Amino acid sequence: MDGGEMNFGERLALRMDDLGPVAVGIDPHAGLLDSWGLADTAAGVREFGLRTVDALWERAAAFKPQSAFFERHAAAGVAALEDVMEHCRQSGVPTILDVKRGDIGSTMDGYADAYLSGPLRADAITVSPYLGPGSLEATARRAAAGGQGLFVLALTSNPEGAQLQHVGGEGASVAGEVIRSVSEWNQALAPGEVGPFGLVVGATIGGAARELAIDLGDFPGIYLAPGVGAQGASGSDVREVFGNARVLASASRSILGGGPSEEGLRQGLARTLDSVGG
């Protein structure tokens, strides 16, 4: 990257400062499709995604399509996701494609080919570090070189995550090692700045970070925080978990449940922004 060019994290941080810290999850599951009067088909998920982008592109800090809800419709669903990703690019809104991929060697290179280039190209993708954070380093370098980013799973919003992520306990947990590794990547690429690599830490984790002796305020990047809204976390929970750290709250049903009207979607986003203090 050129020394004067902002990295993904810096660009996203500026947009968060301007529009508020909420990523709109594009999650066309069957219940939402039905409430919008759309068929649970590839055509339905495509229409759902395009309408969401059209309604919120001027107001959302980022869009976070959930790949699984498109993939379940096989090749036609992936084609629908390509169209939604292109629509996001045309709107100028950063995309975080939620794919949670994680593998080694040439297989991970293949995932990078799929999601960091070509018709599914995203500004950032979610990745899993549980083959070891080092297994993601080549993908991280590739993302940074293209002005893109990664969000690495660390302390997730689902209660089952603690069974693995908390192993090792205070000062030596699995989650702590993930956070340390990603912090080092950011410090190496963007010392003193917001780095291009973020962490997925749930807004529903309560005091888990403190119990594991993890200082979330030390991380030189952006947290992606699922769990806000329909999953039960409020703006006060976000502030309790993260303090003054830079957090992008991810919300889907609490926003998309206001659809299919443009005004309903915008009101849903406004309520979520009010909740998290945006």
Residues with a known catalytic role: 100
Instruction: Compute, in degrees rounded to 10, the torsion defined by CA atoms 183, 133, 146, 188.
Output: 30
Integer Rg of the chain from CA: 18
| Residues 6 or more apart in contact with residue 112 via CB below 8 angstroms | 138, 139, 142, 143
In the 3-class helix/strand/coil scheme, how is 3-15 assigned residue by residue?
CCCCCHHHHHHHH
| Residues 6 or more apart in contact with residue 116 via CB below 8 angstroms | 122, 125, 139, 142, 143, 146, 148
**CA-wise closest residue to 277 among 64, 58, 20, 60:** 20
Q: What is the DSSP string of 56-71?
A: HTTT-SEEEEBHHHHH
Q: Between helices 174-189 and 137-145, what is the axis angle to 10°? A: 30
E strand or H helix that includes residue 180 = helix 174-189
